[in-house]
């Protein structure tokens, strides 16, 4: 069965600083990979996804993520964080022939002015 680990429960960065959120997965083959963002009191919104091809994927709101097969990782990055990026971020994995997304525990991002 697939699993996802987000090692950082909370991260605080200053506005304008760069950001990297970590995601490691466990799955026998190359899975489908996703990053979602959740603002307070809201549902989840897709930031980006990786199915195959170029291992660096671009998403909405200036986010990108890089799939590294050798490290079983799919880390999310943003070069310059804005106060509006404060939210909870979830990494998710799906077997490429499966129906079920498995989510990590989430990373809560706080942005200092």
Partner 1 sequence: NAGVTQTPKFQVLKTGQSMTLQCAQDMNHNSMYWYRQDPGMGLRLIYYSASEGTTDKGEVPNGYNVSRLNKREFSLRLESAAPSQTSVYFCASRRTPNTGELFFGEGSRLTVL
Which pair of tokens denotes residue 76?
Answer: 């999310």
Do the Cβ atoms of 59 and 45 come closer than 8 Å? no
- What's the CA gap between 63 and 70, in Å, rounded? 22
- What's the CA gap between 19 and 59, in Å, rounded? 14
The pattern of x and - marking residues 78 through 97 that bind partner 1 according to CB under 8 A reads ------------x---x-xx
- What's the CA gap between 91 and 105, in Å, rounded? 8
Per CB under 8 A, does 98 bind partner 1? yes
- Segment lying near partner 1 (by CB under 8 A), choices 13-21, 46-54, 65-73, 74-82: 46-54
Residue of 41, 53, 70, 113 that binds partner 1 (CB under 8 A): 41
Chain positions contacting partner 1, by CB under 8 A? 4, 6, 9, 32, 34, 36, 41-46, 49, 51, 90, 94, 96-106
């Amino acid at each position: 069965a697939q699993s996802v680990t987000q090692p950082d429960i909370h991260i605080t960065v200053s506005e304008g600083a760069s950001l990297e959120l970590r995601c490691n997965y466990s799955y026998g083959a190359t899975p489908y990979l996703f990053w979602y963002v959740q603002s307070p009191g809201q549902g989840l919104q897709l930031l980006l996804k990786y199915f195959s091809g170029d291992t660096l994927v671009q998403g909405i709101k200036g986010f990108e993520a890089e799939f590294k097969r050798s490290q079983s990782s799919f880390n999310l990055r943003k070069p310059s964080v804005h106060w509006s990026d404060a939210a909870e971020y979830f990494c998710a994995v799906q077997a490429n022939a499966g129906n079920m997304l498995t989510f990590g525990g989430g990373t809560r991002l706080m942005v200092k002015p």
